[in-house]
Amino acid sequence: MEELPVSSHEGNSVVELADVTFGYTATPVVSDISLSIDPSEYVAIVGPNGSGKSTLMKLALGLLRPDSGAARLFGEPSHAFDDGARLGYVAQHASAATEMPITVREVVKMGRFPHVGFGRLGAEDWQIVDEALETVGMADFADRAVTRLSGGQRQRAFIARALAGEADLLVLDEPTVGVDAESVEAFYDLLAALNASGITVLLIEHDLGAVTDHADRVVCLNREVYFDGPTAEFVESDALARAFGTAGTIVGET
């Protein structure tokens, strides 16, 4: 496994990938990917189905190790990074605990476990939990079972869990699939506010309209990077058509 070369972002980047290639078989899913994400950035990864978006996210978080190249998370090799409190992950559908008979407050409480283990939460911990619930607008639902929440409410609960863990990086994998349009807009307003507060956001999103409305930077991917830069420049580029292999347009895409 190659060591990550020194770069201009060394010591400051939240995520850094250098010439990363990975395949589940002999055929690479992502090939020679290099990118760096700095603190407080709001970055969206877009691309067609099967383009390697989720694989790239797993490589960045150390859930997979590259076949070649190297990945770092907060300056450390991603696969060896163990400060889980700095990471908040919201999966597609937030399905990991939607069938568990627990309340919203109990879900958010899990965010404190990296700090206190599975022991008893103190008064300060509970204050952080309650503040996280307030931040995402879920305080009134704190005692409601997760199974009784809408899709948008569940996603807010899982973001609150990340906030309770005092995460520096929030990673979201197509978080608005199955969420109604009104809730989607409120969800992205929340992400914008969290990003403005200094939290780095890494978003995988199928809704290109949402990406261009909210993200500051776009990485367009289809095994390799077709574009990496400001959202306004992405809109004006032909990266979408090249990556998707069509003459597609961003406006009105869902």
What is the model's pLDDT at position 2?
A: 37
Q: How far apart are CA 16 and CA 13, in angstroms?
A: 6
Radius of gyration of the chain (CA): 18
Q: How far apart are CA 172 and CA 248, in angstroms?
A: 25
Q: Does domain 15-244 have CATH number 3.40.50.300?
A: yes
Q: Tell how strand 200-204 and strand 217-222 pair up.
A: unpaired
Angle formed by the axes of helices 151-164 and 123-135, to 10°? 140
pLDDT tens for 36-75 read 999 999 999 999 989 999 999 999 999 999 999 999 999 9
Tokens of 147: 């199974």
pTM: 0.81
Cβ atoms of 168 and 39 closer than 8 Å: yes
Instruction: List the chain domain ranges.
Output: 15-244
